[in-house]
């Protein structure tokens, strides 16, 4: 009569495996949250860059003014209109979740001229400007965020923020 050895794991081996899985999870969750935060920030920055490029290209190709309007502070969003008077909506965007978009200048609306140049139209008289927008995720205290530079000639450039003070004043 042969004795068969039982196959499987002992309770001690299972406890060790569960402890290792818990350690790996404890290190992986914060890293995953950082990746998600960075992804939200980058996606919003790209969406804003694309909206500004759409506004500039439409103004040049149709030889009409195109206006980009930040809609609200409480519900961060922006809309791109063809001509401020006609009000034809070219695109509308809403920021989801914990991402915020900060305008560095007092701007109620940006106007792209048929020449491709950009100017601030409200409040006050039309003024050519250089503008920087910052995109930050408030759920990540160490997130550096992204900046979007818009020159008065309409050049749009996105780049990572150099310091955390831009997102976490």
Residue 4 lies in a domain: no
- Domain hosting 110: range is 12-166
Model confidence at 75: pLDDT above 60: no
Residue 1 lies in a domain: no
Residue 6 lies in a domain: no
Residue 2 lies in a domain: no
Whole-prediction pTM: 0.77
Which of 49, 51, 64, 50 has the alpha carbon at shortest distance from 115? 64
Residue 139 lies in a domain: yes
DSSP state of 3: P
Question: Residue range 99-124: average pLDDT?
Answer: 77
pLDDT one-digit tens code per residue, 7-26: 788 889 899 999 999 999 88
- Structural domains in the chain (count): 1
CATH number assigned to the domain comprising residue 92: 3.55.40.10
Residue 137 lies in a domain: yes
CB 56 within 8 A of CB 153: no
Specify the DSSP element, H or E, that contains 128: strand 127-128
Model confidence at 50: pLDDT above 90: yes
Model confidence at 97: pLDDT above 80: no
Model confidence at 169: pLDDT above 60: no
pLDDT one-digit tens code per residue, 116-163: 988 876 656 666 677 888 888 877 666 668 888 888 888 898 888 756
Residue 84 lies in a domain: yes
Which of 30, 33, 34, 46 has the alpha carbon at shortest distance from 143? 34
């Amino acid at each position: 009569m042969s004795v068969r050895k039982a196959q499987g794991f002992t309770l001690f081996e299972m406890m060790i495996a569960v402890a290792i899985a818990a350690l790996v999870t404890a290190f992986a969750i914060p890293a995953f949250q950082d990746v998600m935060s960075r992804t939200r920030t980058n996606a919003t920055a790209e969406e804003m860059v694309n909206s500004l490029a759409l506004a500039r290209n439409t103004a040049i190709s149709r030889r009409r003014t195109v206006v980009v309007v930040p809609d609200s502070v409480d519900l961060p969003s922006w809309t791109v209109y063809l001509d401020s008077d006609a009000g034809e909506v070219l695109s509308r965007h809403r920021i989801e979740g914990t991402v915020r978009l900060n305008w560095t200048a007092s701007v109620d609306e940006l106007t792209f001229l048929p020449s491709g140049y950009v100017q601030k139209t409200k409040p006050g008289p039309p003024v050519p400007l250089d503008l920087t927008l910052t995109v930050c995720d408030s759920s990540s205290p160490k997130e550096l965020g992204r900046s979007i530079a818009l020159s008065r000639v309409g050049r749009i450039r996105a780049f990572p923020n150099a310091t955390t003070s831009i997102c976490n004043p």
